[in-house]
Amino acid sequence: MLSVTILGNNSAVPAFNRHPTSQVVSHDGTNYLVDCGEGTQIQMIKYKIRRGKISHIFISHLHGDHYFGLVGLINTFSLLSHKQEIHVYGPEPLQQIIEMQLKVADTILSYPIFFHTLTENATLVDNERIRIKCFRTQHRIPCFGFSFEEKEGKRKLLIEQIRKLQIPISFYSSLQNGLDYITPKGKVIKNDTVTAAPGKGKRYAFCADTRYDEGLIEHIYDFDTIYHEATYLDNMQDKAYSRYHTTTKQAAALARKAMVKRLLIGHFSSKYNSLDVFQDEARQVFPNTELAIEGVTYEV
Amino acid sequence: MLSVTILGNNSAVPAFNRHPTSQVVSHDGTNYLVDCGEGTQIQMIKYKIRRGKISHIFISHLHGDHYFGLVGLINTFSLLSHKQEIHVYGPEPLQQIIEMQLKVADTILSYPIFFHTLTENATLVDNERIRIKCFRTQHRIPCFGFSFEEKEGKRKLLIEQIRKLQIPISFYSSLQNGLDYITPKGKVIKNDTVTAAPGKGKRYAFCADTRYDEGLIEHIYDFDTIYHEATYLDNMQDKAYSRYHTTTKQAAALARKAMVKRLLIGHFSSKYNSLDVFQDEARQVFPNTELAIEGVTYEV
């Protein structure tokens, strides 16, 4: 199952008990951390995120509300004697910033840490279960979104048929991989008579901070769920443009053009206390919009 | 009035809803921030600390639980269009760390910021109302405590006497400063017949992270209130020593030897859920001990 849990849904200045950007994408028991604003580790405790399940951290850009919590989290992992590798993906100066702070504190981490510099359209993780890629967004400083594409699962065994045909258990995993079975007497049993097609992999994208940008569509087209910022309400289009952000209706228009199934909006400006209008405005353009609420897990 | 409000009373790893070190020393409408662990700006909102009243920030040392919240606070001041000067006092690399993070974010602050490097026994602030000094403590990396000494106030006017003698109002402030008054007929009215001695200035010290160190006594002798870390309980003396920290009874013993009037203890290790034993142990050695509780303001 692919899901995302929101830890912070606010823009730069914390307000109204909303926190800076962070979310956890979970897939098959692995937690991928996306952005890490100040206080993320405290939000993790509050919402019972298993920190030990995190080995990959993705930082979209180096505005503080997206990464000021990272150095504290890296430190805490070490104080808790974490042993597994941690991989951090972010814009280049991130490594220098973190390493300088570890150095002045005379800190030797308890685990190996690897920094990976984001480059346009790079594939960051690609294994038999998931592919994670990054893509540039239109922001004031270099900024990247991330797409998570679950791989198709294995074929499903039709266990009654299989037993009837007395196919040995040792061949089950070959069946899941699509192979035909040949009986001891040489008869070919076609794979699709004893297995069913796997479910289609789910796809999620985190679109980071950005102006309205139809260039993003190719990276998120037909996705199951996308998270797109909606810093401002519709009447603030000019401010959104000048600050490299997006309004509710712009985010919704992009979701519609990209033919995604669901839109989550977040990164709300601290000037707004109530969020109801954000939802109302976006739904006028794209009905399947939801507010990204802190502590809530959305199944993709 | 001199007072201190606790924003964070825990050691490095946040736990049990306790936060890393930060406190606000308030004097005559000015807020002095002492240390700024991750999440300090959120604690300030929670406890209604007026951020705009802060112009001096003191960072004891560069372990993350004492300063990871600083860059976010500096950023927030700017996003809120703060205009007044901010003075930051800390160990030398702090300036480089903060400036690097502002630079990669392409941030120009809305206000002037000045960094001051801490050196042994330096006087950091000295005006007619308060004197703030720093002193070295015994920690794994360079670390400083801070002492706040309220200046003696002005002499108090004995208003009935003054009126009886028909001393003009324009001379009142000279009386407060201790001058004698000479009547138009040349008669000398001695100052101490029309004024009373001012109240003695209060004194507070934040003793930062440290091993038990009697070298601190000269900096805090006879103070009204000191805050001293008590990371561990009494049975962890060895661990306290090896990690450059202090136990409950050591903090209390130091308070007793320094003849201070009251001891606040904090910087509790994340291994302890309940804090009652901390208070009990310290009070066995120094009865006027209190736990530093987040959100509570202690009058010095």
Q: Where are the beta strands (DSSP E) in B48-155?
A: 54-58, 86-90, 113-117, 123-126, 130-136, 144-150
Is the separation of the CB atoms in B157 and B194 below 8 Å? yes
A142 touches chain B (CB under 8 A): no
Q: Residue A215: what pLDDT?
A: 97
The alpha-carbon gap from B110 to the nearest alpha carbon of chain A, in Å, equals: 15
For chains A and B, what is the number of CB pairs under 8 angstroms? 94
- Cα(A285)–Cα(B243) distance, integer angstroms: 58
Could A97 and B101 be called an inter-chain contact, meaning their C-beta atoms sit closer than 8 Å? yes
Strand B113-117 and strand B86-90: the pairing is: parallel
Surface-to-core class of residue B17, CB atoms within 10 Å of its CB (0-12 exposed, 13-18 middle, 19+ buried): exposed
What is d(CA B213, CA A218) in angstroms, rounded to the nearest whole number?
63
Residues of chain B with pLDDT under 70: none
Question: How many Å apart are CA A117 and CA A121, to the nearest integer?
Answer: 12
Q: How many CB atoms lie within 10 A of CB A176?
A: 16
**Is A105 in Cβ contact with B38 (below 8 Å)?**
no
Question: What is chain A's pLDDT, residue by residue, as a tens digit (300 residues)?
Answer: 899 999 999 998 888 889 999 999 999 889 999 999 999 999 999 999 998 899 999 999 999 999 999 999 999 999 999 999 999 999 999 999 999 999 999 999 999 999 999 999 999 999 989 999 999 999 999 999 999 999 987 888 999 999 999 999 999 999 998 999 999 999 999 999 999 988 889 999 999 999 999 999 999 999 999 999 999 999 999 999 999 999 999 999 999 999 999 999 999 999 999 999 999 999 999 999 999 999 999 999
A182 part of contact set with chain B, CB < 8 Å: no
Superfamily of domain B2-151+201-299: Ribonuclease Z/Hydroxyacylglutathione hydrolase-like (3.60.15.10)
Positions of B annotated as catalytic residues are: 65
Per CATH, the number for A2-153+202-299 is 3.60.15.10
Q: Is A143 exposed, middle or buried (0-12, 13-18, 19+ CB in 10 A)?
A: buried
Nearest CA in chain B to A64: B72
Return the ∠ at Cα A12 (arms to B26 and B80), rounded to 5°: 50
| Inter-chain CB proximity B14 and A91 less than 8 Å | no
List, in order, residues 6 or more apart from B156 with CB less than 8 Å away.
B176, B195, B196, B197, B198
A41 touches chain B (CB under 8 A): yes
On chain B, the residues whose CB falls within 8 A of the CB of A63 are 105
Q: Is B82 annotated as a binding residue?
A: no
Sorted by sequence, the CB contacts under 8 Å of residue B63 that are 6+ apart come out as A105, B12, B141, B209
pLDDT for A64-98, tens place per residue?
999 999 999 999 999 999 999 999 999 999 999 99
Alpha helix (H) residue ranges in chain A: 40-46, 70-79, 93-104, 159-164, 172-176, 191-194, 217-220, 237-242, 248-257, 276-285
Residue A123 to residues A44, A117, A119, A181, B122, Cα–Cα distance (Å): 27, 12, 9, 36, 53
From B77, which residue of chain A is nearest by alpha-carbon distance? A13
Query: Is A209 labelled as part of a ligand binding site?
Result: yes
Q: Using CA atoms, how far apart are residues A177 and B142, in angstroms rounded to an integer?
A: 60
Cα–Cα distances in Å, from B127 out to B97, B149, B155?
30, 11, 17
Residue A131 and residue A151 in contact, taking contact as beta carbons nearer than 8 Å: yes
**Residue B106 forms contact with A (CB below 8 Å):** yes
Residue B114: strand pairing partners: B87
Burial of A296 (0-12, 13-18, 19+ CB in 10 A): middle
Residue the block writes with tokens 């601290």: A270
Q: What is the pLDDT of residue B123?
A: 98
Residue A191 amino acid letter: N
Positive or negative: CA dihedral A87, A106, A37, A299: positive
Tell me what pLDDT residue B169 has. Answer: 93
Q: Is the dihedral of CA A93, A96, A99, A103 positive or negative?
A: negative
Sequence ranges of the domains in chain B: 2-151+201-299, 156-196
Taking contacts as CB-CB distances below 8 angstroms, the residues of chain A near B45 are: 14-15
Q: Residue B92's closest chain A neighbor by CA? A: A104
What DSSP element (H or E) covers A147? strand A144-150
Beta strands in B79-196 (DSSP E): 86-90, 113-117, 123-126, 130-136, 144-150, 156-157, 181-182, 188-189, 195-196
Flag whether residue B69 sits within 8 Å of chain A, measured between CB atoms. yes
